[in-house]
Amino acid sequence: MRKPEIKQTILRDARASDAGQIAHIYNYYVLNTVVTFEEKAVPEIEMASRISDVQGLGLPWLVAEDSDGAISGYAYAVRWKTRAAYKFSVETTVYTDPELRRNGLGTMLYSALFERLMAAGIHSAVGGICLPNDASVALHEKMGMKQIARFNEIGFKAGQWLDVGYWQRIFTQD
């Protein structure tokens, strides 16, 4: 079976009006996979609040919008921890429409996100991955991230204990 092709795509800042499409993408992963540890679908209004919270901290939440106005993926960064000394460290996230996986969209989103983070003076980006997840590991390593930790059986979803690995990139050495 041939992969669907990505239509002409622009990357832009997320808007509250994107929350429904973003929630639709994310909720596929919530309800059908273990890659996120949420277990209940996230309503559109909650997603809009999350977007507002991230952007309110001055951090990027980007979307990939195709020529038809459909959101095909998104990426964002949140503060790693709330203590003041962590102010230059973030945790990054990327999700794409499940039908468009492995088409370069994650790389496109993460590249733009990392550029924005570096321009904002962020020093360290960390990405958490439920393991095993070869595609996500490959994406994070393609983006220059290196595995720094693994927590065994740290989450329980879908009747199984799940491991989480963390990958990190230090930007000031770029």
Q: What is the pLDDT of residue 136?
A: 96
- pLDDT for 6 equals 57
Q: Chain-wide mean pLDDT for the chain?
A: 94
Task: Return the amino acid letter for 169.
Answer: R
95-123: pLDDT as tens digits? 999 988 778 999 999 999 999 999 999 99
The verdict on residue 62 lying in a domain is: yes
Angstrom distance (rounded) from CA 154 to CA 20: 30
- 154: in domain: no
Q: What sign does the CA torsion over 125, 144, 64, 99 have?
A: negative
Give the pLDDT of residue 172: 75
Asked, for residue 118, whether it belongs to a domain, the answer is: yes
Does the pLDDT of residue 4 top 70, yes or no?
no
The domain in which residue 53 lies consists of 9-124
Q: Is the pLDDT confidence value at 7 over 70?
A: no
CATH of the domain at 56: 3.40.630.30
Kindly tell me if the per-residue pLDDT of 2 is higher than 50: no
Examine residue 4 and state whether it is found in any structural domain, yes or no: no
In this structure, is residue 153 part of a structural domain?
A: no
On whether residue 113 sits in a domain, the answer given is yes
State the DSSP code for 85: G
How many independent structural domains does the chain possess? 1
| Residue 142 domain flag | no
**Is 144 part of a structural domain of the chain?**
no
pLDDT at 103: 82
Q: What are phi and psi of 162, to 5 degrees?
A: -125, 140
Please state the rounded mean pLDDT for residues 69-94: 97
Residue 1: pLDDT band (50, 70, 90) is very low
CA atoms within 13 A on the CB side of 102: 7
